[in-house]
Chains A and B, each alone.
Chain A
Amino acid sequence: MRLETLGFENVYDYVAGKAEWLANGLPREGRTADVLYAGQAVDADPPTCSLDTPLDEIRATLENARFGFCLVLGAGRVVLGSVRRSALDRADPSATADSLMAPGPSTARFDTPAETLVKRLARRRLATAVISRPNGSLVGVFSRADVEQQLH
């Protein structure tokens, strides 16, 4: 049965549903509302640059950074790629992020339970994961070591 057949005139379907809502890090209620999501446990201010950022600037950004990479962001802070510190050593001094980056880094969803992501990263021997929203915009960088400490 549909609400319209019961006399309701203004009925809308939020088609992307709960999955999209949670993946955007919006509030939730219910028994699992206290489960820590990956997006709640990120460093929200990791090293970032844009496509036209010159090598020298990226090097300076990474000099005292805790992560060994600089995320390349486009309009709306959409994650386009990442420049690893190691890519700077042999690069042309006139290079910009555009030519230095590895495009399309894999990302995890905001609403991945933090404990699940810690285990996933451990299995793959990875230290970090980039967390993004459904539109590709950056939430932050999830550090396995940080969250392991938080959880135990």
Chain B
Amino acid sequence: MDSIRLPELKRLLDRGAQLVDVLPAGVYANGHLPGAISLPLTMLDAGTAQRLDQARPVVVYCHDSL
């Protein structure tokens, strides 16, 4: 998985990338990046990943790099 910074994130979003928030659902509900899909890390499996389109880039994020 490639690490990206903000400018690259913006470029990928412009190209139709899917944004995935891997934080717990409650944290996502409080606040998230526009258009992000909630897919908490602990819930990630083949079933939940079906919400994503494999043909499009996926960008995951959490709170920060820590």
Please name all residues of chain A whose beta carbon is closer than 8 Å to the beta carbon of B62 when the two chains form the complex: 17-18
Q: How many angstroms between the C-alpha atoms of A3 and B28 in the bound complex?
A: 19
Shortest CB distance B47–A (Å): 10
Within 8 A of A (CB), among B1-56: 1-6, 8-9, 12, 17, 21, 23, 28-36, 44-46, 49, 52, 54, 56
If A1-B45, A12-B60, A29-B32 touch, does A24 touch B6 (CB 8 Å cutoff)? Answer: yes
Contact call B32/A20, Cβ cutoff below 8 A:
no
Contact of A16 among B5, B45, B52 (CB under 8 A): B5
Residues of A contacting B9 with CB < 8 Å?
Answer: 12, 14
- In A1-27, the 8 Å CB interface with B consists of 1-4, 6-22, 24, 26-27
State whether B29 touches A13 (Cβ < 8 A): no
Pick the contact of B1: A7, A11, A31, A33 (CB < 8 A): A11
* A122–B21 CA distance with the chains assembled, in angstroms: 35
Per the CB 8 Å criterion, the residue count for chain A at the interface is: 30
A20 and B6 contact, CB distance less than 8 A: yes
**Known contacts A27-B34, A28-B33: does B64 contact A13 (CB below 8 Å)?**
no
Q: 27 A-B residue contacts at CB 8 Å?
A: A1-B44, A8-B49, A8-B52, A9-B54, A11-B57, A11-B60, A12-B2, A12-B8, A12-B59, A12-B60, A14-B59, A14-B61, A16-B6, A16-B65, A17-B63, A17-B64, A18-B23, A18-B32, A26-B33, A27-B34, A29-B31, A29-B32, A29-B33, A30-B32, A31-B30, A31-B31, A32-B31
The 3 closest A-B pairs by CB, nearest first: A30-B31, A19-B64, A10-B57
